[in-house]
Amino acid sequence: MNKWTGKVAVVTGASSGIGSAIVKDLAKRGVNVIGLARRVELIEEISNSLGEVLGIIYPRYCDVSDLNSIKETFKWIEEKFGIINILVNNAGIQSSTVTLDESNVGTENINKVIDTNFTGAVHCAREGIRLIKKSNDYGVVININSVLGHSIPFGEFSHSVYPATKYALKAISETLRQELIVQNNMKIRVTNLSPGCVKTNIFLAAGVDPNADVFKVLPHLNVENISQAVLYILEAPYGVNITELTIKPVGEKF
């Protein structure tokens, strides 16, 4: 990770779960990390818990479902840092609302999932790539996806629009990669990282307790597995673009 020491990374959804693990691992390796989330105090706790590390963590409020919040945040980043080198689009939510729920709450939940998981990621990528280009240096965009962006297992549990947002995120990852080629930019790489089942609090929104007994027998990854995958992607030589990386726990059946 020496080539990224002193560089600047932006991680969305940085307050818990996969995002917090990524923030920790990057900071430990000397990367200065701007952690974005709505619960800024949790990022501050992460920073305090690490003690002295090579990188500095900068907690910053951002609601990625709100375009104005994204624009204001990246304006602040540009004013304070000038450029960035790494963007990890990690923010994501799930909902227990089924797609065919006709209630107002159902509509609001569907829109929130789409705006957070896909629309927000697109706008963060646009802003982030602009600041990576400004560095005139090598950079990486990593979109944290899901195996549900590749296939949808049948079952009584409804994933609602969550898989649709992940299919879309997979598509936009490839679109961004191709657009950079058309622009003759060979310094910025784009990766779509798709984990299998990961034990995080995202299950709470779907009505499943991540501490439930089912996780004692259900094969699952931990957040550190995903963070290590991010480090693996960053370690690739500059001329290598890992466009797609899917990781599953041993024994996962879908």
| pTM for the predicted model, two decimal places | 0.93
Residues catalogued as catalytic: 162
Rg of the chain in Å (alpha carbons): 18
Of 56, 60, 66, the C-alpha closest to 79 is 60
pLDDT in the model for residue 212: 60
pLDDT in the model for residue 254: 75
CB 130 within 8 A of CB 176: no
Helix (H) or strand (E) holding 104: helix 104-114
Pairing between strand 32-37 and 57-61?
parallel
Sheet holding 8-12, edge to edge: 57-61, 32-37, 8-12, 86-89, 139-144, 188-195, 244-247
The pLDDT tens digits for 143-158 are 999 999 999 988 756 6
List the beta bridge partners of residue 245.
193
In order of their start, the domains of the chain are 2-247 (3.40.50.720)
pLDDT in the model for residue 155: 73
Q: What stretches in the chain show pLDDT beneath 70? A: 1, 156-158, 201-217
